[in-house]
Amino acid sequence: MTLDLEAPTRIAAVGSAGPLAIRPRRLRRTSALRALVRETRLHPAMLVAPLFVRPGSGVREPIASMPGVARLSPDVAAEEAARLAELGVGGVILFGLPEAKDALGTGASADDGIVQDTFRRIRSLELPLVTIADTCLCEYTDHGHCGPLAPDGSVDNDAALTRLAETAVSQARAGADVVAPSAMMDGQVAAIRAALDAEGFSHTAIMAYAAKHASAFYGPFREAADSAPAFGDRRGYQMDPANGREALREMALDVAEGADILLVKPALPSLDLVAAARARFDLPIAAYQVSGEFAMLAAAAERGWLDGRRAMLEAVTAIVRAGAGIVLTYAAGDIATWLRDEQ
């Protein structure tokens, strides 16, 4: 018997007497069928929740531009981490708002810094949760840029490498499982890897913000983290959103320097890069659904313009469908709750 391999794809012309050979709608007929054949599945363990940590005790300070998100004192942040762990969320990434700032961002690497204190509190709870540190200086410098400044006012790349390496070591010492350099300084992954290894933290992983564009979608974050530049912008070191091939080159450099995970930021405007990264590299691929992406969906939902739950799930599903195995999202707790409710 000879099989005709083309037969299953033959479809009778519209209006002809023959029946349709293929009816994709057969598998969309019921919710059970749709669930059975679903290609992309979300799981709470693939989600990372960003937490903004500020000084104080018992503080939960709402962020106006990010509905449902708040700045938390270290004790409340630890409680939130425990809640997220109970929901099955995979990890948290911490951003710190220090009591004081200076030109070098010394608070970022202080052993008693706001992020370091919070990590120790979270680690003491022994949660089944990956602890990730955003390794950058912009929240800690009085000028809001991601490294010390050169005399001409530009960011001194090599001086920034020293500070980023010191910060990563301090974060690892405080209990970070993963450090995530986001400053977009040339050579930052190599500098951090060398410093971690030299200080006995060879087990600490690096999630590189490998393709981080100078995006308009970061606006609410800068309010949340009090990290807007005092002058100029970050386009001299963050990437031009128009450049895709350059983004892949940045990823390849970070792989060569020792990155363990590659992160694309922002996520939805960069789905092509998420897919390209997944096709080209064997490392885990992460994507950050940034503050502006979250805020526009949350704001539209508040106004009744969108079904917030469906829109958020669709957006995050698209990020995973493109190839991300890890998604950083401010909706991590909500999504984990929704997924549990659907079981």
Give the pLDDT confidence score for residue 341 in this predicted structure. 85
Output the six-digit token pair for 45.
């363990």
pLDDT tens-digit readout, 64-101: 899 999 999 999 999 999 999 999 999 999 999 988 88
* pLDDT above 90 (res 154): no
101 is catalytic: no
Please, are residues 292 and 266 in contact by the beta-carbon 8 Å criterion? Answer: yes
Active-site residue, 212 included? yes
pLDDT at 299 over 80: yes
Q: Catalytic: which of 265, 268, 286, 308?
A: 265
Catalytic annotation, pick one of 121, 143, 163, 212: 212
Q: Which of 247, 245, 246 is nearest to 266 (CA)?
A: 247
> What is the C-alpha to C-alpha distance for residues 102 and 106, in angstroms, rounded to an integer?
7
Closest CA to 66 of 299, 338, 228: 299
Q: Is the pLDDT of residue 10 over 80?
A: no
Non-local (6+) Cβ contacts of 176 within 8 A are: 119, 131, 132, 133, 204
Tell me if the pTM is above 0.85. Answer: yes
Instruction: Specify the pLDDT at position 343.
Output: 67
Q: Indicate the pairing of strand 70-72 with strand 60-62.
A: antiparallel
pLDDT at 219 over 80: no
Architecture of domain 41-263: Alpha-Beta Barrel (3.20)
Choice between 343 and 310, residue whose per-residue pLDDT is larger = 310
Q: What percent of the chain has pLDDT over 70?
A: 91
Q: Which of 240 and 2 is assigned the larger pLDDT?
A: 240
| Residue 1, pLDDT score | 47
pLDDT tens digits along 114-151: 999 999 999 999 999 999 999 998 888 888 787 878 88
Res 153: pLDDT: 81
